[in-house]
Amino acid sequence: MMLQRKNRLRASALGALVVSGALVLTACGSDNNTPKDGSSTKAAAPTGDASQCAGAKGQLLASGSSAQKNAMDLWVNGYMATCKGVEVNYKASSSGEGIVAFNQGTVGFAGSDSPLKPKEVEDSKKVCTGGQGVNLPMVGGPIAIGFNVSGVDNLVLDAPTLAKIFNGKITKWDDEAIKKLNPSAKLPSTAIQAFHRSEDSGTTQNLGKYLAATAKADWPYEPEKKWPAPGGQAASGSAGVAAQVKQVDGAIGYFELSYASQQGIKTVAINTGASAPAEATSENASKAIAAAKIAGTGKDLALKLDYTTKAEGAYPIVLVTYEIACDKGNKAETLPTVKSFLTYTASDAGQKMLAEKGYAPIPAEINAKVREVISSLG
């Protein structure tokens, strides 16, 4: 019934699967070409249209979501190979840090796994002269729940049990609630080592949105970028959480699927109430994200997701990653490059090149609106 190992081996092929109306992010890639500051500079083979480079020049700084770091590596490499003489540096830190940098005017755009809050929009008006920051969805996909429990290859959890694990109410792997969901597993009495993000994170907020929507009695916290629950252990970035889960017996943590695929970390299947648990795959995430609706107004394209879906095969713990830019009031010296680069990421070439790493394009209807907003940035 459980096909986690098979699905992990198939992760690199899933990019060829374009699911109509679906947003899929597995954020795969390699950190090998990344400088110490987290930016990406190595160019790949040209894959874009040189006409997209018009007006682009110099260096463009951006920062934010670590969830999209591996996607950004591919985009930056391909773009810099296409647009000679332009340097794009994306520092993967966290959504919270990216938004702070954007609202301080130190980056041309930011990456975030959650749309701007009203207060953040107000703050952006100080930088976006005559305008404000807007959310532009680029990719989306599953937040994997990775685990490392000796002797356990497959694991099923539901929302209430997951909530109790992450807030310290369930402390042993052979707890009755876990055994009930995994009757054939040989669960040890090993202590659960739950890891969460140490810094403000959109990935944290999206996990919180899922738990708040599906297990309110066991997760009485508002979905915020800052980890809200007591206990547990903190690590920096998705890479840091994944590294801890990889090396600590009894560990569990959350991060984008690419980090699990890269390091061979086993992932939890979620019992949503459907006929079978949903595994963390690109295809299953697309089933949950396909019905996303635009909730933003005007040029803001923030999406509303349904975390309570019980659709067959739909993996419900998902996120959408946005690029945040000024709709008006961008700095004159960086505006052409911001528009050029974001045009590239939203182009057919920019989306299709992600297939090699397990991505699928943004739905055509939403992406058409993204392109329209990018072209109107001023």
Domains (range + CATH), the chain? 19-139+325-376 (3.40.190.10), 142-287 (3.40.190.10)
CA dist 258 and 8 (Å) reads 10
Poorest-pLDDT segment among 68-72, 212-216, 233-237, 239-243:
68-72
The pTM score is: 0.73
pLDDT classification of 3: cutoffs 50, 70, 90: very low
Sign of CA dihedral 109, 89, 28, 49: positive
For residue 35, count CB atoms less than 10 angstroms from its CB and return exposed for 0-12, middle for 13-18, buried for 19 or more. exposed
d(CA 54, CA 83): 9
Model pLDDT, residue 253: 98
Q: Tens digit of pLDDT for each residue in 321-341?
A: 899 999 999 999 999 999 999
Q: Would the pLDDT of 366 be above 90?
A: no
